[in-house]
Structure 1
Amino acid sequence: MSWEDDTMRITVLTVPDCPNAPVVEERLARALEGHSAEVERVEVRDAEQAERLGMTGSPTVLIDGVDPFATPGAPASLSCRLYRGPDGHAEGAPSVADLRRAMDVAHASADCACPPVEAADRGGRGRLAPAAGGLREAQQAVLRHFAATGHAPSIGDLEAAAAAHGRTAAEVVTELSGDDFLILDDHGRIRAAYPFSAVPTAHRVRLASGREVWAMCAIDALGIPDMLGTDAVITSTDPVTSETITVTSTGGHMTWQPPTAVVYVGQRSCTGPAADVACGALNFFTNRRTARTWAQRHPDYTGNAVEQTQAEVLGRSIFGHLLPAAERVDGRG
Structure 2
Amino acid sequence: MKYEKPIAGWWTGRTTEQRDYLYQHIRLLDLQDQKTGVQDQRSPALLGYSCDIGVHRNQGRVGAAGGPNAIRAALGKLPALSGGPALWTDAGNLLPAPDMESAQRGFAKSVSQLLRLGYFPIGLGGGHDMAFAHFQGLVDFLPAGTRLGMVNFDAHFDLRRPLPLPHSGSPYFQMAEACKEHAMSFRYACIGARPDANTQELWDRAREWEVLVVERAQMGGTYQKDVIRKLRAFCEGLDALYISIDLDGFSSAFAPGVSAASPMGYAPEDLLPLLGWLLDSGKVISMDLAECNPGLDRDGQTARLAASLIHFSAHRPGLF
Work out which structure has the larger RCO, using CA pairs closer than 8 Å and 6 or more positions apart in sequence.
Answer: 2
Give the number of the structure whose residues are more often strand, by fraction.
1
